[in-house]
Amino acid sequence: MLDTPITFLKGVGERRAEAFRRLGVMNARDLLYHVPHRYEDASTVRRIATLRIGEDATIIGTVVSKGVLPTRKGLRIFQAVVQDESGLIEASWPGQPFLDRSINKGDVLLLSGAVRFYHGRQLMPREFVNLGAEDSGTAEGRVLAVYPATEGLSFKMIRGIIDKHLDALIPALEEHLPADVLRETELPSLQEAMRLVHRPPSVAEALRGRARLAYDELLAVHLLQRRANAIARQARQGIAFTNKRELTSRLKAALPWELTGAQVRATREIVADMTSAQRMHRLLQGDVGSGKTIVALFACCLALENGYQAAVMAPTELLAEQHFRTFSRLLAPLGVEPVLVVGSMTAKARRAAAARLAEAGPVLVVGTHALVQEGTQFANLGLAVIDEQHRFGVEQRATLGAKGGAPDILLMSATPIPRSLALTLYGDLDVSVLDERPPGRQPVTTALRPESGRARVLEFVEQQLAAGRQAYIVYPIIEESDKIALKAATTAFEQLTAGPFAHRRVALLHGRLSGDEKDAIMRAFRDGDIDLLVSTTVIEVGIDVSNATVMIIEHPERFGLSQLHQLRGRVGRGAAESFCILLGDVGPDSLERLRHITETEDGFEIARADLRLRGMGDLFGKQQSGLPAFKIADPVRDEALSELARTAAERLLRDDATLSAPPHRALQRMLTSRYGRALELFRVG
């Protein structure tokens, strides 16, 4: 029954089936799992006449008039006057004029939000549901399930179709959680959960049902990740390095600073991996300036002292050159000379580097994607380190990992995410976290300033430049457009060079420049030949310029929190006090969001807030390819559920690796039927 194509369900037909297919609903089972994305509680509906200023309330009313109101500052506000049998109230949506196309006179709206005073009582809807022109009595007193919809298939149509088939489909669901696991979760059975999400007696009960379905998704991901990792470990015999403590101990003694506790912990985890018989496949993640490069250098020294080659791949030539200079300086007392391999090298230099790599002796090579090109061959590669790993494609990472037999792999990322989320998304990797700031690293003072303060902000920049410092001004777009009212880097560059910074050395950097042009500008800025760099986000991952002490970010509301944090990381890299100023007028929602940046420099907390507010998006690139996508679960919001699921997955696989024992067969059937990848992972015999 659950495999019945959606077309053949009563009330669907071919036209609606096509719309359902756009939503990923192919059969009856998919229809059950097409759960509401939110609920509106109409069981607590208030009469409009009873509303008081300052309270939060839910109402149902009919639109009696509507329109778009422009303001002097250019903001367009959609307003609708709604009425019930007790009276009228104006509902206001600032910055959402497009609602004028979807809300019509005569529509019945369910509205939830704050009541305020603005030329009379006014409702500021936080959420709303357009009930169309139906009688408000059909909604009042109920919890309304609002489904993801599409053109030609409204949420009300979906609700009606699901309600029509629910009683027949739910009994066909098989409980796949083992009894002991279900008991531990304290969550409802699968059949009960499905009834709660589609016909909730209350919002709280709907969320109980959703939690069970989210748990199932998280458990599936943890089971698949850990089973795949276990199989890969069995198959990936690696190099069993010996911790000789030759170069590594000498490097530690030569460092002009003490390692942080997090760096010591991560180094020990990496050494344990490299000295085991299995091939290392580890992710090292840490905040901006947390010292990942030094940890990677210890791993490289371990490979070198065992007679192997080590390679460090960076996404840009500038970053590769920066690593090369850092390694050269730190390894000089040890008598080790790294080799640089980048695309812009002369043919003679490339031949000399190729000759070094062709020799069987130990060598540390630092480079860009040139390391994975056919012309670069390794005689004895033992360790591959990939910096800013999300900036490389899966294929490039795999190509470097395939060179030289079976080298250990260390991926590094400066986009920190909470450890629990990392264990969910990167379950096929071991994860090390650097969550401490090295001593001497200066905090960056961060502030939000309104447009009215622009002159004072630019004066402050001039003061810093006069003191011999350097500065960045970052814009969200390259050129101005009629379609979007944002300041652009090219226009600002012209205005700044003709105005307040006409006497300064100012350069413009953006993504449309050629690679050579961008490199030349960044080198000039690094070498102190440029005072002020006007840029787009191409500097997000750049080089260390210790003399840069100020960053101005225009239109900060256009950036994600993690991106703002990465940009801020370009300053504060020296001993001088540094500043990041978010410049521009922002709305109340953006103001609340940007508060996270001004109040903390903890990249993990910022990433958590960013993920909670904006979702995961493409933050993780192709890392999740082959994994089931999350349709119901949210690894950030459901962090506690994910931890519960991870613990259960580890225990289940420890006791029954193929889930073939009788208590686990229903779980195995669910995995192999719903997730194609599981067919190979849990094949029996």
pLDDT score, position 125: 86
pLDDT score, position 391: 53
pLDDT score, position 514: 81
Mean pLDDT along residues 177-189: 94
Which of the pair, 531 or 46, is modelled with greater confidence?
531
- SS3 at position 436: coil
Mean pLDDT along residues 246-266: 91
Range with the poorest average pLDDT among 261-265, 458-462, 511-515: 511-515
**Percentage of the chain with pLDDT > 90?**
35
Residue 618 pLDDT > 60: no
C-alpha neighbours within 13 Å on the C-beta side of residue 667: 27
Instruction: Report yes or no: 340 and 353 within 8 Å, Cβ to Cβ.
Output: yes
Task: Give a three-class secondary structure readout of 250-292.
Answer: HHHHHCCCCCCHHHHHHHHHHHHHHCCCECCEEEEEECCCCCH
Range with the poorest average pLDDT among 82-86, 209-213, 469-473: 82-86
- CA-closest candidate to residue 191, choices 10, 31, 5, 32: 32
**In whole angstroms, what is the distance from residue 229 CA to residue 278 CA?**
11
Residue 149, both tokens:
């919809």
Task: For residue range 143-174, list pLDDT tens digits in order.
Answer: 878 888 888 888 778 888 998 999 999 999 99
pLDDT band with cut points at 50, 70 and 90 for residue 433:
confident
Mean pLDDT along residues 199-221: 92
pLDDT score, position 414: 76
pLDDT band with cut points at 50, 70 and 90 for residue 465:
very high
Instruction: Report yes or no: 387 and 314 within 8 Å, Cβ to Cβ.
Output: yes
Mean pLDDT along residues 98-121: 85
pLDDT score, position 541: 60
pLDDT score, position 627: 46
Mean pLDDT along residues 356-383: 85
Phi/psi region, residue 202 (left: phi>0; alpha: psi -120 to 50; beta: rest), is: beta
Mean pLDDT along residues 11-17: 88
Mean pLDDT along residues 477-491: 67
pLDDT score, position 440: 63
